[in-house]
């Protein structure tokens, strides 16, 4: 009995030791797994964080890009609106019978004033318009009176007609006219006037062809501005040249129609008075004649 009891005890101790070794082995194995897996999990978490941050940055970038595109598109659309409004002012301001209504002019001017460039149209009220002839930029103005001869304008086609917003009326000045339709006939004629409201900065303009004679159309003109007193305006030294070039009527052969809008690129000043002079016509005739001189720009302090 003593021997058997000892054997059984030895086997029991052996089993206990074996179980202990298994537990230790399992614990060591788990520890190894933790040691190996933990850094991998950390790396993955970092990558996930980086990925999330990257996605957030990409999303923010896309949102910024979209906003930039939207802003750019808006500006482009607004620019197109300005161009369209200018076109509407020049092309569609005439009604079916060739007359321009005050309502149409008012709506057009208001619409242009509200867009991004704040372009306004000068609409003559009761400003006096002085006809001139034999005058060049920088020289003294030579007055022109109503009549049918040299240095005169047709009584029924006065200078006011160029500023009345009506393509069916016209301003016709003979200038140095003769029976041979000299090439100089109508050249160096024009007009000047003083705006009664706020000074006006001329940024663009558009002229209209005359009612009947293609050869009378002005091809080139000069435009000058002045802030001098009315009594000094006949003097050439009172005027500042702001434009010398095309009238915009080169391609306009249709009668009583607006030409191409021209830009007065160098003018940064506002003037109360303006002077226009025709420097060449389309061909030989006995006068220079045109229906409209539309002025586009800005009133000083937008007070108009």
pLDDT tens digits for 152-200? Answer: 999 999 999 999 999 999 999 999 866 556 668 899 999 999 999 999 9
Task: Please say which residue of 40, 58, 92 terminates a domain.
Answer: 92
232 and 212 within one domain: yes
Could you tell me if residue 223 is left (phi over 0), alpha (psi between -120 and 50 degrees) or otherwise beta? beta
- Whether this model's pTM surpasses 0.75: no
13 and 67 within one domain: yes
109 and 33 within one domain: no
144 and 57 within one domain: no
106 and 47 within one domain: no
CATH number at residue 195: 2.60.120.260
* Positive or negative torsion for Cα 109, 113, 118, 123: positive
Regions of the chain with pLDDT less than 70:
1-18, 22, 24-117, 177-183, 302-304
Q: Which of 275, 129, 297, 128 is nearest to 198 (CA)?
A: 297
138 and 8 within one domain: no
Q: How many CA atoms lie within 13 A of 247 on its CB side?
A: 30
126 and 80 within one domain: no
75 and 137 within one domain: no
Q: Report the DSSP beta bridge partners of residue 131.
A: 191
The number of domains in the chain is 2
- How much is the pLDDT for 61? 45
- How much is the pLDDT for 36? 63
What is the span of the domain harbouring residue 248?
101-302
- How much is the pLDDT for 117? 58
Q: Which residues, including other chains, have CB under 8 Å from residue 109's CB and lie 6 or more apart?
A: 89, 120, 121, 123
112 and 26 within one domain: no
- How much is the pLDDT for 176? 87
Q: What are the CA-CA distances from residue 207 to residues 199, 222, 294 (Å)? A: 21, 13, 6
Task: Please say which residue of 68, 92, 116 terminates a domain.
Answer: 92
Task: Please say which residue of 43, 65, 92 terminates a domain.
Answer: 92
197 touches 302 (CB < 8 A): no
271 and 159 within one domain: yes
């Amino acid at each position: 009995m003593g021997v058997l009891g000892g054997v059984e005890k030895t086997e029991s101790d052996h089993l206990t030791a074996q179980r202990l070794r298994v537990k230790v082995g399992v614990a060591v194995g788990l520890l190894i797994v933790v040691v190996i897996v933990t850094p991998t999990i950390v790396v993955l978490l970092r990558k996930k964080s980086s990925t999330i941050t990257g996605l957030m940055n990409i999303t923010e970038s896309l949102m910024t890009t979209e906003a930039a595109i939207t802003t750019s598109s808006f500006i482009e659309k607004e620019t197109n609106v300005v161009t369209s409004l200018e076109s509407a002012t020049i092309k569609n301001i005439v009604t079916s019978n060739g007359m321009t209504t005050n309502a149409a002019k008012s709506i057009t001017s208001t619409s242009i004033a509200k867009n991004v460039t704040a372009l306004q149209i000068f609409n003559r009220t009761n400003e006096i318009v002085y006809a001139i002839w034999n005058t060049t930029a920088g020289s003294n103005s030579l007055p022109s009176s109503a009549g049918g001869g040299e240095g005169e304008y047709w009584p029924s086609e006065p200078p006011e007609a160029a500023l009345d917003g009506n393509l069916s009326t016209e301003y016709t000045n003979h200038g140095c006219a003769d029976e041979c339709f000299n090439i100089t006939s109508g050249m160096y004629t024009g007009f000047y006037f003083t705006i009664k409201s706020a000074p006006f900065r001329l940024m663009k303009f558009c002229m209209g062809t005359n009612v009947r004679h293609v050869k009378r159309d002005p091809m080139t003109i000069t435009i000058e501005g002045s802030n001098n007193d009315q009594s000094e305006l006949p003097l050439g030294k009172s005027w500042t040249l702001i434009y010398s070039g095309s009238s915009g009527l080169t391609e306009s052969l249709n009668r009583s129609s607006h030409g191409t809008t021209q830009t007065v690129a160098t003018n940064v000043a506002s003037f109360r008075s303006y002077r226009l002079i025709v420097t060449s016509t389309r061909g030989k005739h006995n006068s220079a004649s045109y229906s409209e001189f539309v002025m586009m720009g800005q009133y000083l302090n937008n007070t108009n």
